[in-house]
């Protein structure tokens, strides 16, 4: 078997068998196949796509490239994954919320890259908090606290980490089969029996179109269920930022507000849907609506906030900051930007906001860049809201006046105002479950 023959086979649109995909994955992991050959194969996949069977086989090969966690000692364990967005602090709410309702959550997360944020970066807004945990520490915290969010172990699906770095450098990130294999190899290796996937759709998402997102969601669910896991996907809107805060410490504060029962409507809706499905799939409630009701009740009471404090303390952060998030370090410059004309907000471009946040220092232009947890935006008006001249539109949190100037200008350009209120658009767009999967 030779890599060049498999590249040619895929380039001409033929289907590879599992043994051929395993040869490519393990050969690249062992440095027997060079970067330029695997890059050529990845580009051929981008152009020609993959069948379901190929996608399943690629995921399986990447899964078998490393260790797998055994979480059976903890009962039914849940996990969730987001495909990436702007203002997406959902994990900071959902993980402690589900754990507080009796289902342990073991989540391995990533860092932000490009215009999308990363859960680990948000957690590190708590000074001293550790996200790089050993396998023993990860399992110990899961047993003691029932909730853990940590960085991906290098021993789980190591082929994915190596292949992803090559995809990032060769413009092959946005291939749906490659995305599925990357996500599900890691999620299956992490060991949770229940996995709920938040597939973002719109300007600020990697999947801009609904049809793309639905195809991705179906494949993710099919792969997970074929592997014997209880998996569902929720499609959520990412045309504008989720919630009102964008930026690591600012999003932590908003997550705390949400756990206190004071969260913005769109963030609460997404958290309720994801947490409800995790609890229901785990068998904690007899039906999905009962799970949703329990989630709403706990959010209204604010009783899950203590679970977040436990998790922060277990990972070396100061739990007092959960109860007093206003003590998190602030940005040196804080500026309120007001409307210059009246109108309804007709557009708040999530991608443009995310890119402006990166330039402020809240995210990374490339892997390894340092970030500033203090900076970002808080929005007072979003799509559908009326604003009068002189009323606040948003707030900039920046390191310098010059950076605040540039950020304010960029976000003003991302906001559209008009005389007619735009039609309401739900934040939860649809679901993919075992019941609505396409046959075949």
Q: Verify that 128 and 153 share a domain, yes or no.
A: yes
User: Residue 428: which of 280, 279, 217 has the closest Cα?
Assistant: 217
Domain of residue 22 covers 3-49
Question: Looking at the domain assignment, is residue 136 inside a domain?
Answer: yes
The β-bridge relationship of strands 105-109 and 147-151 is parallel
State mean pLDDT over 427-437.
Answer: 87
Position 170 scores a pLDDT of 86
Give the sheet arrangement for strand 333-338, strand by strand.
245-246, 376-379, 392-398, 333-338
State mean pLDDT over 374-403.
Answer: 97
Q: Is 160 tagged catalytic?
A: yes
Q: Verify that 354 and 307 share a domain, yes or no.
A: no
Report how many domains make up the chain.
3
Both structure tokens of 280: 């229901």
Q: Verify that 25 and 105 share a domain, yes or no.
A: no
Residues in the chain: 440
Q: Is 175 tagged catalytic?
A: no
Q: Verify that 224 and 273 share a domain, yes or no.
A: yes
Contact 258, 271 (CB under 8 A): yes
CATH classification at residue 11 = 1.20.970.10
131-179 per-position pLDDT tens digit: 999 999 999 999 999 999 998 888 889 999 899 888 877 888 889 999 9
Query: pLDDT band at 440, cuts 50/70/90?
Result: very low
DSSP 3-state assignment of 315? coil
pLDDT, averaged across the chain = 93
Position 115 scores a pLDDT of 75
- Among the options 89, 167, 229, 284, which is catalytic? 167
- Rounded CA gap, 161 and 213, in Å? 23
Both structure tokens of 427: 């934040």
> How many C-beta atoms lie closer than 10 Å to residue 62's C-beta?
29
State mean pLDDT over 19-32.
Answer: 95
Q: At residue 113, does pLDDT exceed 70?
A: no
Question: Looking at the domain assignment, is residue 29 inside a domain?
Answer: yes
CATH classification at residue 389 = 3.90.1170.30
Both structure tokens of 39: 């890059």
Position 153 scores a pLDDT of 84
Question: Looking at the domain assignment, is residue 290 inside a domain?
Answer: yes
Both structure tokens of 1: 């078997």
- Rounded CA gap, 71 and 103, in Å? 13
Position 365 scores a pLDDT of 73
CATH classification at residue 92 = 3.40.1030.10
Q: Verify that 11 and 122 share a domain, yes or no.
A: no
Q: Verify that 211 and 83 share a domain, yes or no.
A: yes
* Residue 222 to residues 201, 216, 281, 347, 391, Cα–Cα distance (Å): 19, 10, 16, 35, 48
Question: Looking at the domain assignment, is residue 64 inside a domain?
Answer: no
Q: Verify that 239 and 360 share a domain, yes or no.
A: no
Q: Verify that 273 and 308 share a domain, yes or no.
A: yes
DSSP 3-state assignment of 53? helix
> How many C-beta atoms lie closer than 10 Å to residue 110's C-beta?
17
Question: Looking at the domain assignment, is residue 348 inside a domain?
Answer: yes
Q: Verify that 392 and 335 share a domain, yes or no.
A: yes
Q: Is 81 tagged catalytic?
A: yes
Q: At residue 363, does pLDDT exceed 90?
A: no
- Rounded CA gap, 274 and 282, in Å? 12
Give the sheet arrangement for strand 105-109, strand by strand.
147-151, 105-109, 78-82, 194-201, 230-237, 428-432
- Rounded CA gap, 136 and 145, in Å? 14
Query: pLDDT band at 439, cuts 50/70/90?
Result: very low
State mean pLDDT over 331-341.
Answer: 96
User: Residue 138: which of 229, 71, 64 has the closest Cα?
Assistant: 71
Question: Looking at the domain assignment, is residue 62 inside a domain?
Answer: no
185-239 per-position pLDDT tens digit: 999 999 999 999 999 999 988 888 999 999 999 999 999 999 999 999 999 999 9
- Among the options 10, 80, 81, 230, which is catalytic? 81
- Among the options 160, 198, 349, 372, which is catalytic? 160
* Residue 148 to residues 85, 189, 198, 292, Cα–Cα distance (Å): 21, 16, 19, 22
Q: Is 373 tagged catalytic?
A: no
Percent of the residues in the chain that have a pLDDT greater than 90, as a whole number? 86
Position 352 scores a pLDDT of 96
- Among the options 82, 175, 182, 185, which is catalytic? 182
Query: pLDDT band at 438, cuts 50/70/90?
Result: low
Position 235 scores a pLDDT of 97
Q: Verify that 175 and 101 share a domain, yes or no.
A: yes
Question: Looking at the domain assignment, is residue 55 inside a domain?
Answer: no
Q: Verify that 352 and 378 share a domain, yes or no.
A: yes
- Among the options 111, 162, 186, 382, which is catalytic? 186
- Rounded CA gap, 260 and 91, in Å? 15
Secondary structure letter of residue 327 according to DSSP: G
Q: Is 186 tagged catalytic?
A: yes
Contact 20, 50 (CB under 8 A): no
Question: Looking at the domain assignment, is residue 61 inside a domain?
Answer: no
Contacts of residue 258, defined as CB under 8 A and 6 or more positions apart, other chains included, come to: 93, 243, 264, 267, 268, 271, 299
Q: Please count the helices (runs of H) and the strands (runs of E) in the chain.
A: 17, 13
Q: Which residue has the tokens 């049809």?
A: 211
Q: Verify that 343 and 319 share a domain, yes or no.
A: no
User: Residue 86: which of 207, 239, 194, 210 has the closest Cα?
Assistant: 239
């Amino acid at each position: 078997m030779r890599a060049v023959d498999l590249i040619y086979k895929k380039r001409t649109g033929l289907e590879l068998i599992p043994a051929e995909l395993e040869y490519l994955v393990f050969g690249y992991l062992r440095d027997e196949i060079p970067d330029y050959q695997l890059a050529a194969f990845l580009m051929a996949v981008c152009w020609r796509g993959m069948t379901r069977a190929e996608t399943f086989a690629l995921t399986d090969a990447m899964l078998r490239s490393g260790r797998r966690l055994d979480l059976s000692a903890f009962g039914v364990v849940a996990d969730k994954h987001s495909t990436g967005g702007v203002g997406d602090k959902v994990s900071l709410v959902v993980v402690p919320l589900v754990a507080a309702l009796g289902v342990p959550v073991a989540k391995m997360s990533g860092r932000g890259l490009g215009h999308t944020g990363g859960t680990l970066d948000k957690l590190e807004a708590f000074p001293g908090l550790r996200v790089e945990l050993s396998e023993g520490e990860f399992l110990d915290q899961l047993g003691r606290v029932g909730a853990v969010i940590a960085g991906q172990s290098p021993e789980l699906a190591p082929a994915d980490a190596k292949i992803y770095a090559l995809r990032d450098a060769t413009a092959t990130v946005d291939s749906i089969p490659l995305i599925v294999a990357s996500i599900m190899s890691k999620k299956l290796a992490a060991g949770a029996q229940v996995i709920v996937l938040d597939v973002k759709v719109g300007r600020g998402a990697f999947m801009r179109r609904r049809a793309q997102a639905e195809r991705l969601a179906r494949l993710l669910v099919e792969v997970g269920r074929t592997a014997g896991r209880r998996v569902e996907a929720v499609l959520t809107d990412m045309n504008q930022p989720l919630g009102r805060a964008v930026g690591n410490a600012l999003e932590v504060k908003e997550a705390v507000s949400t756990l206190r029962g004071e969260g913005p409507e769109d963030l609460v809706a997404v958290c309720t849907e994801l947490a409800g499905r995790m609890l229901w799939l785990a068998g904690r409630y007899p039906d999905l609506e009962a799970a949703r009701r329990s989630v709403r009740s706990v959010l209204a009471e604010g009783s899950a906030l203590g679970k977040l404090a436990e998790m922060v303390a277990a990972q070396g952060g100061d739990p007092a900051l959960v109860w007093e998030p206003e003590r998190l370090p602030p940005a040196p410059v804080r500026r309120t930007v007001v409307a210059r004309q009246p109108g309804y907000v007709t557009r708040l471009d999530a991608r443009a906001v995310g890119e402006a946040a990166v330039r402020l220092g809240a995210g990374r232009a490339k892997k390894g860049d340092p970030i500033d947890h203090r900076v970002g935006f808080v929005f007072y008006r979003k799509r559908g809201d009326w604003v009068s001249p002189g009323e606040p539109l948003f707030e900039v949190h920046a390191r310098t006046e010059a950076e605040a100037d540039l950020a304010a200008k960029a976000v003003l350009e991302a906001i559209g105002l008009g005389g007619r209120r735009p039609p309401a658009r739900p934040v939860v767009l649809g679901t993919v479950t075992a019941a609505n999967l396409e046959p075949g």
